[in-house]
Amino acid sequence: MKLLKLVSFVHFVALAWACPGDDHDHSHSHSKRAFPSTTLTAPTRQLDWGDLNIIHTTDSHGWLLGHQKHSSPEPNYSGDLGDFASFVSHMKEIALKKDVDLLLVDSGDLHDGTGLSDGFPPGGIDAHDSNKFLTQLPYDVMAIGNHELYIYANALDMHQNFAPKLKGRYLSSNVNITLLNEHNQIVNVPVGNRFAKFKTRNVCRGRKVTSLGVLFDFTGNDKNTTVQKVADMVKESWFHEAIQEEPDFFLLVGHMPVQRDNWPLVFNAVRAVHPTTPILILGGHTHIRDCVQLDGRSISLESGRYMETVGWLSAKLDKKGSKKNITFSRRYLDPNRVTYEFHTGRKNSSFDTSLGKSITKGLNQLAKNFDLDFTFGTAPTDFTTNRVPFPSNNSLLTLYGSEAMPVALTVNNTRASIPNLMITNSGSLRFDVLQGPFTKNDQLTASPFADAFLFIPNITAGVANKVLPTLNNAGSENRKREAREAWERELYARGEVEMIYRRWLEEMDKRNGIERRAAGNATLGYVTHDSCPGVGDDVLHAPLPFFSVPDFIASDPPAVSDDTPIDLVFVDFIQSQLLEILNSLQTTKTFTAADAQPYSDVLGNAVLGVFAQKAWN
């Protein structure tokens, strides 16, 4: 899928570790601070601290100003990166007082998701400006994600400008980039570093760490970037050399889900050399909260998406050579000021640090520079992807298919008078459109993908109208299952995870959604059921209602006879599958990519904005 598109690290660590308390600005100015719009539920239990503790983020996708819409459950996630920076600083102070280790770790996907990353002016690079704020936090390890690789310029920016800020701790164990070196020679080098070895806290008392940063077997990367299969990576000589020396623990960070993917390949390769060394895996990519233990001396944590979750992991480590199970604890925090103040023991008046306020101010200025408050129109109600049935008046997919595409794609289009059928994949809609001003930022949040629309002319309406149900696997149950599994495997390899995230939401609702919502004693949010002991969610919620949606949606069929020639319009992301189906539905001609022509200058990430200007003013 094609996508659009300072306090130094050392100084901050010195402040946070060596000078607790010196980072506070006691003026308590809260100008431009976006406080939660509703009363939030506070946690009721403290975090479990161990000898080793980790704060984990993943799949932030540019959501650095937090979720600021009023519709539930958005206020749960209203903390911005400045709030998070203040939280991290206070937690570092607590770790010092407890004399324990606290690491900050990220598992990738910093690009593609909000205007802060994607709303740059012409000539810019996706997330180049927003990523500067992330480098101001004391991340100990960060790993590359697949969204750093869809566009070569983004990967190059990460290699040249972002990775150096992490001083060897931005890891891309199986991801390379091809470029010209200082001698004008073509070289193929890691985007970051293949691995890192370091000590926690300080040289005298620190624990030895060996860390890797692994990406799943991604196939959608741009030319001049290389993703090595995980199965091949673990056979490399550098990998075996990196894990040969036994550390106090292995920290395996990577953009790969902790279940149903290839973490066991990495885990088993390490275990073959070090049968009892503690292994901590911090994963990502599928946008869910999840936890699993591959054995009694390891734990694997995945911490959601879009800054809707901050993960907490702690371990009570024992002596080398021990074979006893390690006591682990994990928690999924809702990132908001109420959560942060509860766990740091701070009041609102003493929570903000000077760094935190500086980051918030800088992000607001970046939003202003990118004109992210530009308003296309006012959404009259919430339009959601899965909280209401499809089709229905409040379904975003209904709005997009029946209204937005037909309006936006025919503006200034010489083919507007020709009957058409427009098809896209539902996964192209990444976030709900919520009531209120619909801004440039909302447009990029709801649909960040810069996919082009193509068309094939003179397809009879009878044939064209069969394409959508066939795409959605009409037919026998076996055909539907096989087609879906094949399509999902292809989508997953190219980086699409919306089907997995939606399936997780569906399971959540099926378990106890109706009962919890009916009880009325819990706010809406995530209700996690994972494989690790105890309750993982920091605040108990009622799950959101969930309704299944098709993989593909279309505009309303034109009111013409079956033999009327029409334009079959489709997003280029689904071209190969659509052509295959079109050729199976008729024998008049074998269609190829050469038959697909550009239909509109309006890209996928602009459809809702063009529509809103026409319909919501």
Name the residue type at position 299.
I
- Residue 479 has a pLDDT of 60
Among the listed residues 364, 154, 317, 174, the one whose alpha carbon sits nearest the alpha carbon of residue 255: 174
For residues 308 and 313, give the distance between their C-alpha atoms in angstroms, rounded to a whole number.
17
What average pLDDT is seen over the chain?
Answer: 92
Please give the C-alpha separations between residue 161 and each of 131, 145, 381, in angstroms, as whole numbers.
10, 16, 41
The CA–CA distances, whole Å, from 422 to 150, 577, 614 equal 25, 15, 19
Mean pLDDT confidence for 601-614 = 97
pLDDT at 480 over 70: no
User: Quick check: 352 pLDDT over 70?
Assistant: yes
Residues 10, 169 contacting (CB under 8 angstroms): no
Angstrom distances, CA of residue 572 to CA of 211, 519, 544, 566: 39, 46, 32, 18
In three-state secondary structure terms, 464 is helix
**What pLDDT digit, counting tens, does each position of 403-431 carry?**
999 999 999 999 999 999 999 999 899 99
* CB-based burial label for 591 (10 Å; 0-12, 13-18, 19+): middle
Say yes or no to pLDDT of 298 above 50.
Answer: yes
Residue 84 clears pLDDT 90, i.e. is over it: yes
Give the total residue count for the chain: 617
pLDDT for residue 486? 84
Q: Could you tell me which residues are beta bridge partners of residue 379? A: 436
Higher pLDDT, 293 or 6: 293
> Nearest CA to 397 among 221, 549, 202, 615?
549
Return the pLDDT at 485.
84
For residues 610 and 592, give the distance between their C-alpha atoms in angstroms, rounded to a whole number. Answer: 30
For the four alpha carbons of 592, 594, 600 and 605, in that order, the dihedral sign comes to positive
> The pTM is what?
0.91
Q: Mean pLDDT throughout 432-461?
A: 96
Return the CATH architecture of domain 49-369: 4-Layer Sandwich (3.60)
What number is the average pLDDT over the span 588-598?
A: 97
pLDDT score of 354 more than 50: yes
Reply yes or no on whether the pLDDT at 476 is more than 70: no
Closest CA to 13 of 141, 140, 162: 140
For the chain, the 3-state helix, strand and coil shares in percent, each to the nearest 5, are 35, 20, 45
Q: What was the pLDDT predicted at 473?
A: 82
pLDDT (0 to 100) of residue 14 = 32
Q: What is the CATH number of domain 375-472+550-615?
A: 3.90.780.10
Task: Please check the confidence at residue 453 and state whether its pLDDT lies above 50.
Answer: yes
Using the predicted structure, report yes or no on whether residue 5 has a pLDDT greater than 50.
Answer: no
Lowest mean pLDDT among 229-238, 491-500, 562-571: 491-500
Indicate the residue type of 265: L
- 96: buried, middle or exposed (CB in 10 Å: 19+, 13-18, 0-12)? middle
* Distance between CA atoms of residues 171 and 107, nearest Å: 10
Distance CA 538, CA 535 (A): 8
- The segment(s) of the chain belonging to CATH 3.60.21.10 are 49-369
Of 87, 4, 90, 79, which Cα lies nearest the Cα of 34? 79
Of the candidates 498, 452, 385, 447, the one whose C-alpha atom is nearest the C-alpha of residue 605 is: 447
Looking at residue 590, what DSSP letter applies? -
| pLDDT at residue number 28 | 33
- Locate 372 and state its tokens: 């992210």
Q: Using 50, 70 and 90 to split pLDDT, how confident is the model at 475?
A: low
Question: 283 near 301, Cβ under 8 Å?
Answer: yes
Q: Give CA separation, 500 vs 56, 217, 257, 485, 489, in Å.
A: 21, 16, 11, 12, 11
**Local structure of residue 283 (DSSP, 8 states):** E
Read off the pLDDT of residues 13-55 as tens digits, 9 standing for 90 and up.
Answer: 333 333 333 333 333 333 344 555 578 999 999 999 999 999 9
In three-state secondary structure terms, 193 is strand
Distances, alpha carbon 47 to alpha carbons 24, 53, 287, in Å? 23, 10, 23
> Where does residue 6 rank: exposed (0-12), middle (13-18), buried (19+ CB within 10 A)?
middle
pLDDT the model gives residue 202: 65
Cα 33 off chain centre by: 24
Q: In terms of DSSP bridges, do strands 420-425 and 565-571 run parallel, antiparallel, or are they unpaired?
A: parallel
Report CA 432 to chain centroid distance, whole Å: 15
Q: How far apart are CA 613 and CA 617, in angstroms?
A: 6
Look at residues 148, 187, 188 and name the one whose alpha carbon lies nearest to residue 171.
Answer: 148
- Our separate counts of H helices and E strands in the chain read 19, 22
End-to-end Cα, the chain, rounded Å: 32
Q: For the segment 151-185, what is each residue's pLDDT rounded down to a tens digit? A: 999 999 999 999 999 999 999 999 999 999 989 99
Provide mean pLDDT across the span 84-94: 98
pLDDT category, 118, cuts 50, 70, 90?
A: very high
In sequence order, the β-bridge partners of residue 567 are 420
* Band of pLDDT at residue 2, cut at 50, 70 and 90: very low
Separation of alpha carbons 266 and 223, rounded Å: 26
**% pLDDT > 70, the chain:** 92
Query: In the prediction, which pLDDT does 39 show?
Result: 85
- Provide the pLDDT for residue 4: 40
- Exposed (0-12), middle (13-18) or buried (19+): which is 184, by Cβ within 10 Å? exposed
CATH 3.90.780.10 maps onto the chain at 375-472+550-615
- Express each pLDDT in 357-382 by its tens digit: 999 999 999 999 999 999 999 999 99
